[in-house]
Amino acid sequence: MKIFNTLNKTKEEFKPIEKNKIKMYVCGPTVYNYFHLGNARPFLFFDVVRNYFKYKGFDVTYIQNITDIDDKIIAKANDENVDYKDITQKYIKAFFEDLKQLNIQKATLNPKATDYLPEMIALIQDLVNKGYAYESQGDVYFAVDKKKDYGKLSGKNLDDLQAGARIEANTQKHNPFDFTLWKKAKAGEPFWESPWGNGRPGWHTECVVMSKKHLGQSFDIHGGGIDLIFPHHENELAQAEAIDDKPLANFWLHNGFLNIEGDKMSKSLNNFFTARDVLKKYNADTIRFFFLSKHYRSPIDYNQEILEESRIAINRFYEVFKKLPVYKENIINDHLSTDLTEIKNNFLAAMDDDFNTAKAIAYLFELSKICFNQNTEESHNIQAANLLYELGSVLGFFSKLKDELDNKIDDKAEKLITLLIEIRSLAKKQKNFEIADKIRNDLTQLNIELRDTIEGTNWSLKK
């Protein structure tokens, strides 16, 4: 399997550090707003990365942090005249709700920065002790000059940076590119006590601490959008390697931007649509198709027409499942016919080539064509539909269908539920409420809900 590694700017053969295990860290949201469709791109792409490794039999630990202390959060709390925690709690809840609506599975763990203050302070102290960091008027900075290979992830070097930049007048810093590890609190701001006075940690330090804490000294994959390469990931890498001279991550993966009329969709440009708003018009599979039909490193333009085309494409897959049954357990796929085996292998080869989801989707279309082929045996078409479901699920499609399959109730079970409902109404007539209640409660345990109406009792499956 080959993956493009931003660190070496080339596609490299991927080998996990530990056999059959993947340890992956992806920078998560800063929680002061609903996330927009651009933010959804990395969330969705790394969901696919995790699914694909799992499908290949790896045991995946996926850590995605939540930045719950930050200048923007404080500014928003001040604007609304509330505690910063009111802001973060609200948007953490919204973050998980929106992920769910997008059919993005949760990470193994979502650590929150404010839960790791002692570890962050210890790391900064360690950097000070080792001579990589210095305190200045209550702030602590990382001295970029001390890290000889500073810039290796982004391909920038300090001389070029200094030549190209407008140098800010900050007399506290030894070098204008020194970055903040600890920020002194202004009056009224939230703070934590530290050896350098009251303040809060810098964003780059937060991710180093949370990733190492949960994944160990070095891990396999570190991910995020390309805007994170510099300075965020460069500064994470610099700190981590200054501490123990071991790579923080072996592979650095970055997704391209979602643009809108040529600009990056972003909160600061105010040119964004929140994911929850887009979800009112397009379902999760359509949005997923919109992103995955392009390579993850290519830029994508937000475009209604392409979203409409995505909707049509997804509906075509759903036509297959309306026509042909699929089974949750893909029993028959153990003995795939040669043509289907070839398609499956092509799909895997596309995904093994730096997660080429665009190409992988083309094989899903080949499968759907086979499903509609009237000149082949129905059993073959059903096998194709099962494979379409299996491979589509790897890309995160069809999860609604999965719910339906999970909750499928066969004819016999349906008759048994009807029988229990009849026994329950007999029990009620005879004033045996103990039995009546037992039937209702036990069915509820099985996610079967009873509703008494004047016409009689109905049942439904709890969602």
Report the interface residues with ligand AMP, using CB under 6 A: 27, 29-30, 38-39, 41-42, 224-225, 227-228, 255, 257-258, 264-266
C-alpha 3/C-alpha 155 separation (Å) is 18
Peptide bond into 231 cis (omega under 30): yes
Instruction: Specify the stretch interacting with Zn ion by CB under 5 A; choose among 32-40, 111-119, 201-209, 377-385.
Output: 201-209
* Minimum CB distance to Zn ion, residue 154 (Å): 14
C-alpha 288/C-alpha 285 separation (Å) is 5
207 binds, among ligand AMP, Zn ion, none (CB under 5 to 8 A by kind): Zn ion
Residue (29 or 231) nearer to ligand AMP, CB: 29
Residue (207 or 258) nearer to Zn ion, CB: 207
C-alpha 174/C-alpha 248 separation (Å) is 26
Residue 289 phi, psi dihedral angles, 5° rounding: -60, -45
Place of tokens 């899903």: 364
Residue (48 or 324) nearer to ligand AMP, CB: 48
309 binds, among ligand AMP, Zn ion, none (CB under 5 to 8 A by kind): none
Residue (119 or 227) nearer to ligand AMP, CB: 227
Residue (99 or 207) nearer to Zn ion, CB: 207
* Minimum CB distance to Zn ion, residue 67 (Å): 8
Query: Is 63 a residue that touches Zn ion (CB under 5 A)?
Result: no
* Minimum CB distance to ligand AMP, residue 357 (Å): 15
* Minimum CB distance to ligand AMP, residue 137 (Å): 28
Query: Is 207 a residue that touches Zn ion (CB under 5 A)?
Result: yes
Residue (273 or 459) nearer to ligand AMP, CB: 273
Q: 357, exposed or middle or buried, with CB in 10 Å at 0-12, 13-18, 19+?
A: buried
* Minimum CB distance to ligand AMP, residue 69 (Å): 13
173 binds, among ligand AMP, Zn ion, none (CB under 5 to 8 A by kind): none
Enumerate residues 6+ apart whose C-beta is below 8 A from 178.
Answer: 141, 142, 143, 144
Residue type for position 92: I
In what helix (H) or strand (E) does residue 229 lie, and over which residues does it extend? Answer: none
42 binds, among ligand AMP, Zn ion, none (CB under 5 to 8 A by kind): ligand AMP
> Which tokens in the block code for residue 125?
């102290």
Gyration radius (Cα) of the chain, Å: 27
Q: How many CB atoms lie within 10 A of CB 145?
A: 13
* Minimum CB distance to ligand AMP, residue 213 (Å): 20
Q: Which residue is nearest to ligand AMP (CB)?
A: 225
Q: Write down how long the chain is.
A: 463
10-39 footprint of Zn ion as x/- string (CB under 5 A): -----------------x------------
* Minimum CB distance to ligand AMP, residue 231 (Å): 12
Residues facing 461 on adjacent strands: 448
Judge contact between 28 and 110, C-beta under 8 A. Answer: yes
> Which tokens in the block code for residue 204?
């780059």
C-alpha 146/C-alpha 95 separation (Å) is 38
* Minimum CB distance to ligand AMP, residue 351 (Å): 21
> Which tokens in the block code for residue 192?
């934590």
Binding site for Zn ion (CB under 5 A): 27, 207
